[in-house]
Amino acid sequence: MKLGRIGQQIRKLLFSSTNKELLLFVFFLALSGVFWLQTTLNEVYEREFAIPVSVTDIPKNAVLTSDETDTVRMTIRDKGFTLLTYMYGDVLKRLNVSFRTYNRGNGTGIVTSQELQKLVYQQLANGSRIINVKPEKLEFYYNYGAKKVVPVRWSGRVIPEELFFISRVTYKPDSITIYASKEKLDSINVVYTEHLNHVNFRDTLRANCELAKIRGVKMVPDHVRVTFCTDVLTEENIEGVPIKAINMPAGKVLRTFPSRVGVKFVTGVSVFRHLKPTDFTVVADYNEIMEHPQEKCHIYLKTVPRGISRARLETSMVDYLIESESE
């Protein structure tokens, strides 16, 4: 009973004079929309398609050193209906080029735009026309297993907060294998990461990043994990660094007064804890003393440990005495 009453109310609602007019309006609106869409899609349009291109039929003893998949962009002209099938169908999803067909025999393969168009036309409807192709050609590179292991280094802008500095950088892995032509293998001694951009950090930073691509070079693996360890900057000094004489002739001894000096520097707290005076090298040059004799001689800070910056001696001149060993 209730269902019958509901059905009667719906019929009255739908077929009342007001709603009949609304239904007729909606019907003709939909019908006009269909005609408009049909007319619109029957017009001729141009649309650019990005088509992935893959190299196939690669011999087992050959290694492709360029990207396995490249992209060609083609502008195609045809009716809207046809272009819709290209946009949402499987016709232009991928284009395969044969290694054996386009191999030039010198470590490269070239597929010209004309050859690419021929391959694409085989998949297009009769009325479709290709009016533009970018790039003008596709190239692929290969070798027969020549490789080399090279270290990895980071590239970019990595700056910690003020009063912090990067004390150590580690890579995982710290080296990779590259495949390329002999000329490229000979010229590459290090590979770099993509451009990194990290600023204002204080804790250890770990970045998973890809390696910067080099044309004609395959990298295995093509990504690394870079860890930047930070430390707090501190200005310190260390006393008792011995002064060593250099260029001394046989039988001569150089004595300086004092025999040890202090060094001031900036470093990280963790680095400073492990420093010893013998980690620094301070020298006095006998040849310079002989060429420019004075009451005092110059001393120089020759080497400093890793992780030290702005190092300087507390004094740059000391008293000295040159003696014979027999004395």
What integer pLDDT is reported at residue 201 of this predicted model?
93
Q: What CA–CA distance (Å, rounded) separates 209 from 132?
A: 35
Going by C-beta distance under 8 Å and a sequence separation of 6 or more, which residues neighbour residue 265?
Answer: 235, 236, 237, 238, 304, 308, 309, 310, 311, 312
Q: What CA–CA distance (Å, rounded) separates 43 from 84?
A: 12
What integer pLDDT is reported at residue 92 of this predicted model?
84
For residue 104, pLDDT over 90 is answered with no
pLDDT in tens, 219-254: 999 999 999 999 998 899 999 999 999 999 988 999
The pTM for the full model equals 0.66
* Listed residue (167, 268, 178) closest to 227, CA to CA: 167
What integer pLDDT is reported at residue 79 of this predicted model?
86
Q: Which two tokens stand for residue 242?
A: 């011995």
249-269: string of b/e by CB count within 10 Å (b at 16+)? eeeeebebeeeebbbebebbe
pLDDT in tens, 44-98: 888 899 999 999 999 988 999 988 778 899 999 988 788 888 888 888 888 899 9
Q: Which two tokens stand for residue 167?
A: 């004390």
DSSP for 119-152 reads HHHTTS-TT-EEEEEESSEEEEEEESS-EEEEEE
